[in-house]
């Protein structure tokens, strides 16, 4: 059974390193997701761009350009009360279907309790980058260790 490992990054460089390490450890683009506010600035003060096709590395301005090529299916969303977001990976589909429920509503579908989902939604609202990894039970600890080792905070498994 798949579980969700979730963590929060303060800057794009840390998130990029985590996603790179996850990919190098055998996690696929269909398991790794990233969510960030459009137009945020990371702790490294670099303006980030999002790819129309993040797997191809084409950037258009906004968020997550440094993560291009590391996750699949980037998309821009507008979530009421949060504003414009960029999501890459499988979570993009969840969020587009749960726009009225916000990020917390999308995370519920992955087994994140509503209270924790709202907490993570607040972190994205603050300008943090949310990373999730959908992993089989045997790879959950590995995913959590990679996120923590690369600077993620609030790492949890559900």
Q: Confirm if 105 and 118 have CB atoms less than 8 A apart.
A: no
pLDDT at 86: 78
Look-up: residue for tokens 């972190």? 123
User: Which residue range is the domain that position 12 belongs to?
Assistant: 2-157
Split into its structural domains, the chain has a count of: 1
Q: Confirm if 147 and 19 have CB atoms less than 8 A apart.
A: no
pLDDT at 108: 86
pLDDT at 111: 87
pLDDT at 87: 80
SS3 149: helix
pLDDT tens per residue, range 29-71: 889 999 888 764 444 333 333 333 333 222 233 334 444 444 4
Q: Backbone phi, then psi, for 91, in 5-degree steps?
A: -65, -25
pLDDT at 59: 29
pLDDT tens per residue, range 102-151: 788 778 888 899 999 999 999 998 999 999 999 999 999 999 999 999 99
Look-up: residue for tokens 């590995």? 142
Q: Which two tokens stand for residue 95?
A: 């969020």
Nearest to 98 by CA among 78, 84, 112, 113: 78
């Amino acid at each position: 059974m798949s579980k969700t490992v979730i963590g929060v990054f303060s800057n794009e460089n840390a998130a990029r390193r985590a996603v790179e390490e996850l990919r190098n450890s055998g996690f696929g683009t269909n398991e790794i997701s990233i969510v960030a506010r459009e137009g945020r600035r990371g702790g490294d003060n670099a303006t980030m761009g999002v790819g129309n096709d993040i797997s191809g590395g084409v950037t258009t301005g906004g968020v997550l350009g440094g993560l291009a090529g590391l996750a699949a299916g980037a998309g821009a969303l507008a979530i009421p009360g949060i504003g414009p977001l960029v999501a890459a990976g499988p979570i993009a589909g969840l969020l587009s279907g749960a726009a009225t429920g916000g990020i917390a509503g999308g995370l519920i579908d992955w087994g994140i309790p509503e209270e924790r989902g709202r907490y993570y939604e607040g972190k994205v609202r603050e300008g943090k980058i949310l990373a999730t990894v959908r992993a089989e039970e045997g790879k959950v600890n590995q995913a959590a260790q990679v996120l923590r080792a690369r600077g993620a905070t609030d790492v949890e498994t559900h």
